[in-house]
Amino acid sequence: MLFVPWFPALRLLLCAAGSVTILGDVPCVVVTYNVENYHLRDWGNRHEKPVESRAAVAEILAQIRPDVVALQEIGEPAALDDLQRSLASRGVLLPHREHLGGWDTNLFIAVLSRFPIVRRAAHTNDSFLLDGRRFHSSRPVLEVDLELTPAHHLSLITTHLKSRRPIAAADESALRAEEARLLRAHVDTALQRNGAQPLIVCGDFNDSPDSKVLKTLLGRGRLHLLDTRPAERGASAETPDSPVRLVTWTHFFARQDSYSRIDYVLLSPASEAFCVRQGTYVWSGPGWGRASDHRPVVCELRFPDR
């Protein structure tokens, strides 16, 4: 699919003008970030996140200067308080928040926003049958509607799908595929309710771009989602067969010494035209490994002034 970062009504101007610069009055920088066990104390089977690691998370986000952050592996509400304070001390004010837990009582998800949250929906009890047994989704699904201006609203759905670590109860990939199916059902409901409103679906989906999980989430037809496929800014590897291969990994798995892309920002048809490609990337820089085993994924949207 050709990714076009300008508004549909202006695309025809390319033929006459050669190029177009879009300057909207309502920018919105959205980040999804797994902050790896951001706890202020030992919590369940998770250990306290060191102070220097928490500071590294805040410093990275301060460099990005987001308007909206979807967080995975955030700790208890006090941990979210801690991150908000750290960001505020660095000049990043995100006063509006939602914090949500599910069946996994050790890890939570959250949204921080510069914009008011005018609608929220919490899906904390999703379940499914697998091989004749009932399972619950480990983590919840959080939906929020943000009021950028009275004329511009943005919907966001975020979650954290089952990890790739094997468990005794069932095949982890099968569990994750079922969770993805339930997540896609929530996406379909949101699109059917108001398909004209821009929607972002983001989070740690714990699977590769060619997986059943991603194919389920992307969907097909008029309710499809677009994988923005962000990459590091200015980072590529040249090979004889492919002149440029973008660096897109978002997660380092120490046990396997491997790097993969498992964190995503997906866009609905109504939001594709507002995405600024130059502002959509995987953050890279010193300290990423001190902060988390994931790297933030950034997506910039820019809405017209009318």
Show Cβ contacts of residue 117 under 8 Å, excluding neighbours closer than 6 positions.
96, 97, 98, 111, 144, 145, 146
**Residue range 29-303, CATH number:** 3.60.10.10
Tokens (6 digits) for 134: 């009932």
pLDDT at 45: 81
pLDDT in tens, the chain (306 residues): 334 343 333 333 332 333 334 444 799 999 999 999 999 998 888 899 999 999 999 999 999 999 999 999 999 999 999 999 999 999 999 999 999 999 988 899 999 999 999 999 999 999 999 999 999 999 999 999 999 999 999 999 999 999 888 777 789 999 999 999 999 999 999 999 998 999 999 999 999 999 999 999 999 998 999 999 999 987 665 555 655 678 999 999 988 899 999 999 999 999 999 999 999 999 999 999 999 999 999 999 999 876
**How many residues make up the chain in this entry?**
306
State the amino acid at position 265 in one-letter form.
V
pLDDT at 236: 60
User: How far apart are alpha carbons 296 and 245 in whole angstroms?
Assistant: 20
Query: Where in the chain does DSSP place strands (E)?
Result: 26-38, 68-74, 96-100, 108-113, 117-123, 127-130, 133-136, 141-149, 152-160, 199-204, 226-227, 236-237, 245-246, 251-253, 258-260, 263-267, 275-282, 297-303
Tokens (6 digits) for 6: 């300008």
User: How far apart are alpha carbons 79 and 49 in whole angstroms?
Assistant: 10
Q: How far is CA 306 from the centre of its chain?
A: 27
pLDDT at 243: 56
Domain segments of the chain: what residues?
29-303
Give the residue from 15, 17, 142 showing the smallest Cα distance to 69: 142
Backbone angles phi, psi at 154, to 5 degrees: -130, 130
